[in-house]
A = this chain, B = another copy of it.
Amino acid sequence: MNEFDLVLPSAVDVREVGMRDGLQLEAPVPLAQKLEMLDALVATGVGRIEVTSFVSPRAVPALADADALAAQLGRWPGVHWSALVANARGAVRAVDAGVADLEYVVSASDSHSVANAGRPTAGALGAVGEVAGLAHGAGGSLEVVVATAWDCPFEGRTPITRTVDVARAAVTAGADALCLGDTIGTTTPLRVLQLLDAVRRACPGVPLGVHFHDTRGSGLANVLTALQSGITQVDSSVGGLGGCPFAPGATGNIATEELVYLLEESGVRTGLDLDALMTAARVTERAVGHELPSSLFRAGGRPVPRGAVTPTPASAPS
């Protein structure tokens, strides 16, 4: 007999990022429809929602309504809201809008950092302290998302030591938590584990989450490996929304409903309801006006009754 046992955490803390990572490259969705999306998402039971980015409306027109959206969040008490910021200016906006739990991206590769944030990695790291200070001053926290943590679209593989250096520097500068981003959806289970182990060694005790894209089919296998290694914070997007719908192959985040299905069926509590997620995906699909990539959403959810009829004997007739 083999000795393998599938050891998973008893519960996983899902962060829904569809409102931010999902919508950011879409044509702008009217505020009223975003509120419908949030109604549907909150009804799933999800505890954490990354709700928008406070960034330049020119750079991300789809999220230009961040302040107006944030002003509505009091409708849904009990949800832990967070927002992405790209610099201290964005952090001031977020805090003023009442969102004090912030995510801030630092790309581990210079080329992506320049393309994404207009400055190399060291420059992006240089703002962590100020952004953290703004979050902390408002009673909030700062999570640094290390983008291109495994691979960069321009530079290829990111050395593990590089990602670890960036993570350590972010924590030293004031980050309360870390998240590793598989920005272009290229990583695979062994590399997931290797990087997670290295970052945990470098930043012991710092909360660490994962952000995978399912561009090459490995998304949930990567999650599974991360969970087996002890990770309990996972980003996902309703319907698998994310990436650019106009760029073939730029598929989205792992789909929240696929994540929840896999986890709940494997005995891991998420607090999310699959039927409510299917409803939220339908609302999201209407809002963005195109098909969502999630296979589970297209397949139609849990397909079979959970019970089964009593079969006839399996023995072959003699």
Contacts and interface: CB of A to CB of B under 8 A. Distances in A.
Interface of A: 1-2, 4-8, 108-111, 120-123, 125-126, 128-129, 151-153, 155-159, 162, 165-166, 169, 173, 184-191, 193, 197, 200-201, 214-221, 223-225, 228-230, 248-251, 254-255, 258, 261-262, 265-267, 294-296, 298-300, 302-309, 311-317
A311 B156 contact: no
Contacts of A109: 308, 311
A316 B128 contact: yes
A173 B318 CA distance: 11
Which A-B residue pairs are the 9 nearest by beta carbons? A217-B258, A249-B299, A125-B316, A190-B266, A156-B305, A188-B265, A165-B314, A126-B316, A216-B296
A5 B228 CA distance: 9
A4 B156 CA distance: 27
Contacts of A267: 190
A314 B125 contact: yes
Q: How many copies does the complex hold?
A: 2
Contact of A312 (B122, B157, B193, B228): B122
A122 B248 contact: no
B122 A216 contact: no
B218 A121 contact: no
A277 to B, nearest CB: 12
